[in-house]
Amino acid sequence: MSDKTLFERIVAREIPAQIVYEDANYIAIRDIAPRAPVHLLVIPKKVSTRLDEIVDEAEMGRLMLTALRVARTQLSDYRLIVNVGRGGGQEVFHTHVHILGGWEEGSPVGFGI
C-alpha cells in the first residue's frame, strides 16, 4: 500500500483525473464528487498536509494567485474555500483550494464543504 496522498498519486498520474490546469508547481482538476455546478481543486505539487503548514509568504501567495488564475478561466463569479484540519472539514490531508461556482443565482444558503 502506498503512503502517497490521493493528490500525490494524481500528480504522478497513478490515478486518472480531469486536469484543467498544470504548471511546474500546481495542478488543477475537476472534483470527482462536485458540490457545485463547477467544482475544481487547485493542488500544490509540493506536499503540505494543511494550509497552515505553509509559512513562506511567497509560496502562499503563489497558491492563491494560481487558484484565482484557474477560477477566472472557468467562471466569472466563484468561491475559494480551503478546509484546514479534520474539524475544518478537510478530508484529504494534502493542501488544496476548492473553486466552486456556476450557480445561476448564487450558492445555496449555508452551503458548506
Q: What is the CATH number of the domain that holds 72?
A: 3.30.428.10
Tens digit of pLDDT for each residue in 12-58? 999 999 999 999 999 999 999 999 999 999 999 999 999 999 999 99
Beta-bridge partner residues of 21: 28
Mind telling me the catalytic residues?
Answer: 96
Domain that holds residue 56: 6-101
In sequence order, what are the residues at sequence separation of 6 or more whose Cβ sits closer than 8 angstroms to the Cβ of residue 86? none
**Residue 113: pLDDT above 90?**
no
Residue 107 falls inside a structural domain: no
109 part of a folded domain: no
Q: Identify how many contiguous H helices and E strands the chain contains and give both numbers.
A: 2, 5
Domain count, the chain: 1
pLDDT per residue over 83-92, tens digit each? 999 999 999 9
What integer pLDDT is reported at residue 52 of this predicted model?
94
